[in-house]
Chains A and B, each alone.
Chain A
Amino acid sequence: MGHFTIGVVGKDRPGIVAEVSRILFELGCNIEDSTCTILSGQFAMILVIGHPKLQAVTEVDPAFDDVRSHMGLMVTVHALKEGEVVREKTFSGHPHIISVYGADRPGIVYNVTRELAMRKVNITDLNTQVVGAKDRPVYVMVLEADIPESVDMKELEKVFDRIKKDLGVSISLRPIETLEL
Chain B
Amino acid sequence: MAILPILKFPDPLLKERSAPVTGVDDGVSSVIVDLLDTMRASPGGVGIAAPQLGILKRIVVVDVSAHRRGGQEQNHGLLVLVNPEILARGGKQLVREGCMSVPDYTANVQRAQWVLVDALDRDGKQTILEAIGFEAVAIQHEMDHLDGILFLDRVVSVKTDLFRRKKYR
Residues of A at the B interface (CB closer than 8 Å) are: 35, 37, 88-93, 95, 124-125, 144, 146, 175-181
- Among residues of A, the one whose C-beta sits closest to the C-beta of B104 is A89
Chain B, range 86-111, C-beta contacts under 8 Å to A:
95-100, 106
Given contacts A177-B69, A179-B137, 16 further A-B contacts (CB under 8 A): A91-B167, A92-B167, A95-B167, A144-B163, A177-B96, A178-B97, A179-B46, A179-B64, A179-B70, A179-B95, A179-B97, A179-B98, A180-B44, A180-B98, A181-B45, A181-B151
CB pair B67–A179 under 8 Å, yes or no, is: yes
CB pair A90–B96 under 8 Å, yes or no, is: no
User: What residues of A have a CB within 8 angstroms of the CB of B137 in the complex?
Assistant: 179
CB pair A93–B42 under 8 Å, yes or no, is: no
A37, A146, A177, A181: which has the most chain B beta carbons within 10 Å?
A: A181
6 nearest A-B residue pairs (beta carbon): A180-B44, A124-B166, A181-B141, A181-B47, A178-B98, A91-B167
User: What residues of A have a CB within 8 angstroms of the CB of B47 in the complex?
Assistant: 179, 181
Shortest A132–chain B CB gap in Å is: 19
Residues of B in contact (CB 8 Å), total 33
CB pair B99–A90 under 8 Å, yes or no, is: no
0/1 string, B112-139, CB within 8 A of A gives 1: 0000000000000000000000100110
A selection of 15 A-B contacts at a CB cut-off of 8 Å is A89-B165, A89-B167, A89-B168, A125-B163, A144-B163, A175-B68, A177-B96, A179-B70, A180-B44, A180-B45, A180-B99, A181-B47, A181-B100, A181-B138, A181-B141
- Give how many A-B residue pairs fall within 8 Å (CB-CB): 69
Chain B, range 137-169, C-beta contacts under 8 Å to A:
137-138, 141-142, 151, 159, 163-169
- Among residues of B, the one whose C-beta sits closest to the C-beta of A93 is B167
CB pair A179–B141 under 8 Å, yes or no, is: yes
A181 in contact with B97 given A89-B168, A90-B168 (CB within 8 Å): yes
- In the complex the two chains form, what is the Cα distance from A130 to B142 in whole Å? 40
User: What residues of B have a CB within 8 angstroms of the CB of A177 in the complex?
Assistant: 67-69, 95-96
- In the complex the two chains form, what is the Cα distance from A89 to B64 in whole Å? 26
Is B5 an interface position by the 8 A CB rule? Answer: no
Is B12 an interface position by the 8 A CB rule? Answer: no
Chain B, range 52-89, C-beta contacts under 8 Å to A:
64, 67-70
User: What residues of B have a CB within 8 angstroms of the CB of A180 in the complex?
Assistant: 42-46, 98-100, 169
- Among residues of B, the one whose C-beta sits closest to the C-beta of A97 is B96
- Among residues of B, the one whose C-beta sits closest to the C-beta of A145 is B166
Shortest A141–chain B CB gap in Å is: 16
- In the complex the two chains form, what is the Cα distance from A14 to B64 in whole Å? 45
- In the complex the two chains form, what is the Cα distance from A37 to B160 in whole Å? 12
User: What residues of B have a CB within 8 angstroms of the CB of A90 in the complex?
Assistant: 167-168
CB pair B165–A181 under 8 Å, yes or no, is: no
Shortest B8–chain A CB gap in Å is: 14
- In the complex the two chains form, what is the Cα distance from A88 to B165 in whole Å? 11
